Structure 1
Amino acid sequence: MFINLNQNKNLKLFKIISEVAARNNQSVYIVGGYVRDLLMKRKASTDIDFVTEQSGIELAQSVAGEIDPKLKVSVFKTYGTAMIKYKDLELEFVGARKESYTENSRKPEVEGGTLEDDQKRRDFTINAMAISLNKDNFGELIDPFNGIEDLEKGILRTPLEPAQTYSDDPLRMMRAVRFASTLQFTIEENSLAAISKEVERIKIVSMERIMVEFNKIMLSEKPSIGLSLLERTGLLKYIIPELIELKGVEEVEGQTHKDNFYHTLEVVDNISVNTDKLWLRWAALLHDIGKAPTKKFVEGTGWTFHGHEFLGSKMVKTLFQKLKLPLGPDMKYVQKMVKLSSRPIALITDDASDSALRRLLFDAGEDMEDLFTLCKADITTKNSKKQDKFKRNFEYVAVKIKEVEEKDQVRNFQPPISGEEIMEMFALKPGREIGILKEKVKEAILEGEILNDHDEAKKFVIVEAEKLGLKI
């Protein structure tokens, strides 16, 4: 079978590589994800991998010299690979190789091999296909493991025995789940069983590498596919066991609570319809994380999860540290979203006062819209009338919040009177009195006692300062 590359936007590049390889008496093939995406008619990847049965480094250097002598070639001698960044592309050249692994490392021992050896070491048949760029069979698809049929059927299957494949490089287990989620493919039965069998091997993989795959699952169209597979195979207990604690339904005196694990997966899917923001999706994943440790059955009331948002927000930092996720603004954003995740719902069910709306605006700040996106995603009832009612209520609260914001301007609140001005008014040096007065001004504005206005704030400060024994 031949692949027509004549309409490919990289045809000129492929022709150059073909000619350079021929001059060097080298073979050359495109392999991996680029071939898969080309056959699936997906958006072309900007990463293209090339295999030669001779020296990948020499081929890369020759190709770079042909394209532009100033092009830098990054060389990785240990693995016999080299990379060129050209326009918007990353071109990686590797010598075909055999690999062997030791028990405690996913870094292989490498020796030279044939194209077939190189294809055998690939993770899945759909990633083991190659397209020849050699002059005598330019464009021929070389597919020893029938990857094209697996591609057509939407199946993830390993070229070799799956347990060995996953044991050799346990990251492939995460990649299997990631491809199942991003491509919406099915992991072949024997392969799925092998992941469950070899699951403990994931412990030798760095958390940073695991999170690269996990975040790709989180950014897929329907993340619950991957998250369910992580739980089903046992991988999730090595990554975020706190999520598994949410699983299951208990019954006391005929009263049950919902399964918060599967509810969480629904919320993540719901939010993914409306946002591509990775950390907002993470907020959806962790919004109920505090429910397992706060779950309690109260006689006459039923199941309660009192304070789960506050505890959950505190758990976020511990989780991000363990998962080697960023601990700066992204983590703080997720903490804030988790902590506030039930606040809009409380405002919907009560006769919300302006002060409650002002406080929510103050606490959410510029993330108010994201918080509403999260809360709407949290509606997982299958009762369409209830769904419509919740959505109407959210719209009503959104209108009220907009009215309060326009009137009181408390989003991204800045005090209308500064600490410097207060010090000047009372001839004070920096001290606790300044903080007390600024806090009182903030509280008065949020409670609606005074307007968010400089003159009103100044009058208020004079009255409150007198209570502290201060005079102008």
Structure 2
Amino acid sequence: MATIPKLIRKLGKEAYNLYIVGGYIRDRILNREAKDYDFVVQEDAEKIAKLAAEKLGGTFVPFMEEKGTYRVVVGDEILDFTNLRGEDIYIDLAHRDFTMNAMAIKLTDYFEFEYIIDPFGGMMDIKNREIKHVGVMTFKEDPLRALRAVRFAATYKFDIDEGTKAKIREEAALIKQVAPERIMNEIFIILKEKNSHKYLRMMEDLKLMENIFEEVAKMKEVGKCYYHLTNAWIHSLKTVEEYENIINSMRFPKDVYDIVSEYLDRKLSSDNKVKDIIKLGALFHDIGKPESIYIDTENRVHFYNHETKGAEIVKKIASRMKMPKKESSLLKKLVLYHMKPLMYYVNGGPTNKSLFRFFSELKDDSIAILLLSQADFTATRLNLGKEEEIPKFTDYITKLLKRYVEFKETEKPLLSPLDIIINFDVKDGKKLGQILYEIRKNRFYGEIQDKEDAVEFVKERMKINKV
């Protein structure tokens, strides 16, 4: 908050050539903290930005020179300086995206909000919690604005004006012109919301989803079958909703709650969290179904190995959308393994051997797969009107999560490598690793309880295998 008054003092007479515009004014009206400042400069933005960097002790960055924008970074605050578009501030504001962002105020009038320049009624729209586009060229000038409308709706819990919705639908295909990195940045922000399923559905309603992800159209063609009464896409949106219900309530025993919450809050790259990427996994878990349709002799539809096909498809999507490697890897894993817990369930539950292998292969991402499986099952059973089956499957997933807690506990060895080397004269590294692995595995099985059991196990193994 102290940045603006300080900037006015430091810039002196140059401050009279600046306007504060856009989001900062919006956030001040909403009493939200803002650390990003956008300034329009009547004369030379580069000169003013360099002066501001010098006076404030910040770093000058030629951010988007081709658009006449220069950035100054001061601590954790970002100040952008842009040359005025057009002859005056009114023309400049006419080129902005939404009315709530199309306001300005002279830098020197900072404390006099009655002097806000508001030619499109932005303050009234903020009061009414409504997002309205500024003009007929809003989305043609920058098609990403269509997706930003959804992002603003998600972030501020505003509604999008019906006229603006109609315009977005009309020009939705323009989103294909936008760089994938910019698109994914907006989607990742939307996914951070606790109830992002509402805004994914909004993207669908505005025809943005299938114009961003062409594969969605095929998912809509996969209609009802033995397991579903709706198409694969509607089911997938419902799965995201059920996943969010699970993680928003977190009704787990404390030991499970602790390990699940820590995992979900882990940061990947670009400040994305694991829990947000699982939403993408839920959205695309059935994306392989259109490529996997099989109709049996009784005219029933099946989707054998759709998870394998789906993993190949999301790998291509992640590459096309320039997703970071960590996010891409987790997304592929979610799609590839999402059927595993259900397959165990319908076959009477996993054996110790299969569960240990599952946990060993997926490690902490086992948690993501289990939660996705629960959401998928819940969405399916709600759709079929078989709600009575949900509690049993929920209990099953909770039990598997508890088994994963036990699996994690086996990471702390009962015997150290040195214990085995000294007491059993094992010098071969490969054999040593195998013994440690077998101790851990049998501990998970419940056949080894403590250090004494582990010692006895090694003794017996040495006798049998003559190590």
**TM-score, normalization: structure 1?**
0.75
Q: Deviations over 1:53-75 (max 9, x none)?
A: 2322333333333333xx32223
* Partner Cα distance (1:256, 1:296) in 2: 15
Alignment correspondent of 1:91: 79
Match of 1:132 among 79, 86, 106: 106
Mapped pair 1:75 → 2:65: no
Asked if 2 retains the 8 angstrom alpha-carbon contact of 1:18 and 1:135, the reply is no
* Partner Cα distance (2:316, 2:299) in 1: 32
Match of 1:66 among 52, 55, 71: 55
Compared CA separation, residues 53 and 325, structure 1 to 2 (3 A) = same
Aligned letter for 1:202? I
Mapped pair 1:38 → 2:10: no
Mapped pair 1:370 → 2:368: yes
* Partner Cα distance (2:356, 2:400) in 1: 10
Alignment correspondent of 1:154: 129
* Partner Cα distance (2:39, 2:443) in 1: 62
Asked if 2 retains the 8 angstrom alpha-carbon contact of 1:450 and 1:456, the reply is no
* Partner Cα distance (1:192, 1:412) in 2: 56
Cα distance, 1:149 vs structure 2: 1.8
Tell me the secondary structure at the aligned position of residue 171 of structure 2.
Answer: helix
* Partner Cα distance (1:313, 1:299) in 2: 28
* Partner Cα distance (1:127, 1:229) in 2: 21
Compared CA separation, residues 319 and 462, structure 1 to 2 (3 A) = farther
Alignment gaps of 5+ in structure 1: 1-9, 99-112, 466-470
* Partner Cα distance (1:47, 1:292) in 2: 44
Q: Deviations over 1:351-404 (max 9, x none)?
A: 324334333323332223333322232212448995565244433453366358
Compared CA separation, residues 169 and 229, structure 1 to 2 (3 A) = same
Cα distance, 1:116 vs structure 2: 1.1
Cα distance, 1:218 vs structure 2: 2.3
Asked if 1 retains the 8 angstrom alpha-carbon contact of 2:224 and 2:230, the reply is no
Cα distance, 1:326 vs structure 2: 2.0
Asked if 1 retains the 8 angstrom alpha-carbon contact of 2:41 and 2:84, the reply is yes
Compared CA separation, residues 279 and 391, structure 1 to 2 (3 A) = same
Match of 1:222 among 195, 202, 208: 195
Compared CA separation, residues 384 and 132, structure 1 to 2 (3 A) = farther
Cα distance, 1:145 vs structure 2: 0.2
Mapped pair 1:119 → 2:93: yes
Q: Deviations over 1:395-448 (max 9, x none)?
A: 3453366358648967799xx99xxx9xxx999999xxx9xx99x979996996
Cα distance, 1:450 vs structure 2: 8.3
* Partner Cα distance (1:248, 1:188) in 2: 30
Aligned letter for 2:119? P
Cα distance, 1:305 vs structure 2: 1.9
Aligned letter for 1:28? L
Asked if 2 retains the 8 angstrom alpha-carbon contact of 1:22 and 1:135, the reply is no
Alignment correspondent of 1:239: 212
Compared CA separation, residues 331 and 455, structure 1 to 2 (3 A) = farther
Asked if 1 retains the 8 angstrom alpha-carbon contact of 2:243 and 2:371, the reply is yes
Compared CA separation, residues 458 and 323, structure 1 to 2 (3 A) = farther
* Partner Cα distance (2:15, 2:403) in 1: 74
Mapped pair 1:208 → 2:181: yes
* Partner Cα distance (1:397, 1:192) in 2: 40
Alignment correspondent of 1:261: 233
Asked if 2 retains the 8 angstrom alpha-carbon contact of 1:249 and 1:257, the reply is no
Alignment correspondent of 2:118: 143
Q: Deviations over 1:178-220 (max 9, x none)?
A: 2233334333333333333333333332111221122222223
Cα distance, 1:129 vs structure 2: 1.6
Tell me the secondary structure at the aligned position of residue 352 of structure 1.
Answer: coil
* Partner Cα distance (1:46, 1:79) in 2: 22
Match of 1:52 among 41, 47, 54: 41
Q: Deviations over 1:156-192 (max 9, x none)?
A: 222222xx22122222222223223333433333333
The worse-fitting range, judged by mean Cα deviation, of 213-222 and 394-403 is: 394-403
Identical residues among aligned pairs (%)? 25
Compared CA separation, residues 376 and 83, structure 1 to 2 (3 A) = same
Asked if 2 retains the 8 angstrom alpha-carbon contact of 1:295 and 1:304, the reply is yes
* Partner Cα distance (1:364, 1:175) in 2: 35
* Partner Cα distance (2:364, 2:410) in 1: 11
Tell me the secondary structure at the aligned position of residue 40 of structure 2.
Answer: strand
Mapped pair 1:26 → 2:16: yes
Alignment correspondent of 1:106: none
Alignment correspondent of 2:154: 181
Cα distance, 1:123 vs structure 2: 0.8
* Partner Cα distance (1:158, 1:405) in 2: 50
Alignment correspondent of 1:313: 311
* Partner Cα distance (2:287, 2:44) in 1: 51
Asked if 1 retains the 8 angstrom alpha-carbon contact of 2:15 and 2:107, the reply is no
Cα distance, 1:462 vs structure 2: 8.9
Cα distance, 1:263 vs structure 2: 1.7
Aligned letter for 1:67? L
* Partner Cα distance (2:193, 2:78) in 1: 23
Cα distance, 1:34 vs structure 2: 1.8
Compared CA separation, residues 46 and 391, structure 1 to 2 (3 A) = farther
* Partner Cα distance (1:235, 1:79) in 2: 26
CA RMSD of aligned residues (A): 4.2
* Partner Cα distance (1:365, 1:343) in 2: 14
* Partner Cα distance (1:114, 1:365) in 2: 59
* Partner Cα distance (1:315, 1:24) in 2: 55
Mapped pair 1:304 → 2:302: yes
Aligned letter for 1:212? N
Aligned letter for 1:159? V
* Partner Cα distance (2:199, 2:408) in 1: 44
Compared CA separation, residues 220 and 256, structure 1 to 2 (3 A) = closer
Asked if 2 retains the 8 angstrom alpha-carbon contact of 1:257 and 1:303, the reply is no
Compared CA separation, residues 84 and 459, structure 1 to 2 (3 A) = same
